Structure 1
């Protein structure tokens, strides 16, 4: 029997696993369900490092992770450019729908349209909704990801034929996962946006970009779209490390921003479902499941949620993680976070399983 624990959070019902390995059982069950009834032929991904499968390996930026110890628990122990010790959420989601084990990066030359026909990621680490965010580390802005998507559709049409390609696009699940960098790497770090916008005005500004992007996808034939929300940003090890006056606890103001922005995205989802005929737009909110894991790591078999596996676990990510690799933890599965900004593979699996079960089940019907 699969046991679970149900908690209520502001009238939101969240079913969470009580046993450390329950998520593995759940993922297997979802995989069996998906194999027999999935109507999703492909997973198409837009976003930042949470879903970048290695696109940044092929552009001139320091926002990379194609080196040890990244990827040490991936198949073959290879660093692919995923900001994790192993698989990222979109890989687990693809597998849950009975598709490929991994969603490949669009710019990776070892893949071609025959691979991308089942899934593709246009995501770029360190990007955001705001073009100014992508400029910070010279990564792929969201508008460029859309241009890549247009090119992908042309290749898909040539590969499958126009009719089949159009059907694939209409039935494919388009995932959006970004926004954290807009606040933590741009608004609260780089001078400019904070001078023009209050935090709430900036939230509205970003939500308007999200709306235009969704409408662009819709105009290109996409009908099944997942708009991803923000995690509890204040609970990232990087932010907790700098919260000395707060006892290195989660930074409340950043979590408040996450909640406010997520509410705007949720309202946007409701409105666009009413405005755009035939669209199935869902809001995928990782906030509460991530917060529950961080606040109750022992329920999931984790030993640490405040510091990460990489190096000291307090502030390292990217190349800093590489330089401190000799100090990295021996077992990443005991940690909620891999580096100071990104979850471990095990955490990604739990969150992906939760989203598939509670949000994407309608696409299995």
Structure 2
């Protein structure tokens, strides 16, 4: 089975505190990306990459496996709560919600996707540009329900979160069957992806978006799966992948500077998780964690999705002791820490 989706996350705080609600100027959170922010859209498409079964969601309200790749909530949920909007951001394809729910927050993300269409093809998930089509459909419904003026106000004042990119490298470029590695050098592929990110943000801007958070990629060589496959080096982090992540984040920063100059009225920020997440991974006890090399679910070495199921006898009892929930995705506690930090340190200008 191909390597599955992993998060393009956010950040951390020194201690775990409840995310503080703030009277915000932002009326809605609108989300694009991969499994780091997918609230369950993959439940409704034909793909093996799903998490709508136990033990996923065991610490979510009601113990429900919603399709979030976590034992509980994910960053957009905590960010939405911090902005005083609502405690969860629903998936657009979830039929139990309608436009009244989506008006204050909606998620178009699909686990396993990337900037590159070839990445979404690997596990038959929703390509980034199809996420944009769903967003256009959402705009029509919003205008039909609220009227042109109010809908446009919501769309222009909403905070748009983008979190993706890691799958392009670990699920596409670095796999044995990749068509991209013979076609591009690593640096060329980074620039190719950054170019797609720029086109996507420019298209969002043309559709009315003004407040946008572009997520960087994490130290992806330190994810439990990568450590597992690096046994000859003592299960250390794969430094080659970490270097690629740092370089790619640098190119995304260049893009942010460029677009802030070129697009009048846009407020675009880069949420670069790399160094702070590395500190969590290198000093887990400082943040209240006991385990970082392996994840909570199953053996914690290579499982996610269907390999992380309720019948595996090895799943841990207390997920809060683990930085990672499965071999790719952080635990709810990690999500809360990083979300609190990103709100206070990177999204403050949108308050």
| TM-score normalised to structure 1 length | 0.92
Please, what is the CA RMSD of the aligned residues?
A: 1.1
Matches within 5 A, 1:226-241: 226-241=213-228
Give 3-state SS (helix, strand or coil) of 1:45's partner: strand
Residue 310 of structure 1 is matched in structure 2 by: 297
Residue 8 of structure 2 is matched in structure 1 by: none
Q: Would you say the 8 A contact 2:12–2:334 is kept in 1?
A: no
Residue 166 of structure 2 is matched in structure 1 by: 180
Tell which has more relative contact order, 1 or 2 (C-alpha 8 A, sep 6+).
2
Q: Does 1:143 align with 2:122?
A: no
Q: Would you say the 8 A contact 2:12–2:337 is kept in 1?
A: no
> Per-residue deviation at 1:16?
4.3
Match of residue 24, structure 1, among 11, 14, 17: 17
Match of residue 102, structure 1, among 85, 88, 91: 88
The C-alpha deviation readout for 1:181-235, integer Å capped at 9, x for no partner, is 0000000013200010011100000000000000000000000011100011001
Match of residue 147, structure 2, among 152, 161, 185: 161
Match of residue 276, structure 1, among 235, 251, 263: 263
Residue 191 of structure 2 is matched in structure 1 by: 204
| TM-score normalised to structure 2 length | 0.95
Between the aligned partners of 2:249 and 2:188, the Cα distance in structure 1 is 14
Match of residue 134, structure 1, among 104, 115, 120: 120
> Per-residue deviation at 1:245?
1.8
The 4+ residue runs of structure 1 with deviation greater than 6 A are none
Relative to 1, partners in 2 of residues 1:74 and 1:16: Cα closer, same or farther, differing over 3 Å? closer
Match of residue 170, structure 1, among 148, 156, 165: 156
Unaligned runs of 5+ in 2: 1-10
Residue 263 of structure 1 is matched in structure 2 by: 250
Between the aligned partners of 2:223 and 2:76, the Cα distance in structure 1 is 20
Residue 113 of structure 1 is matched in structure 2 by: 99
The C-alpha deviation readout for 1:310-354, integer Å capped at 9, x for no partner, is 010000000001165322000000000000000000000111111
Alignment size in residue pairs: 340
Unaligned runs of 5+ in 1: 1-13
Match of residue 49, structure 1, among 24, 31, 35: 35
| Larger proportion of helix | 1
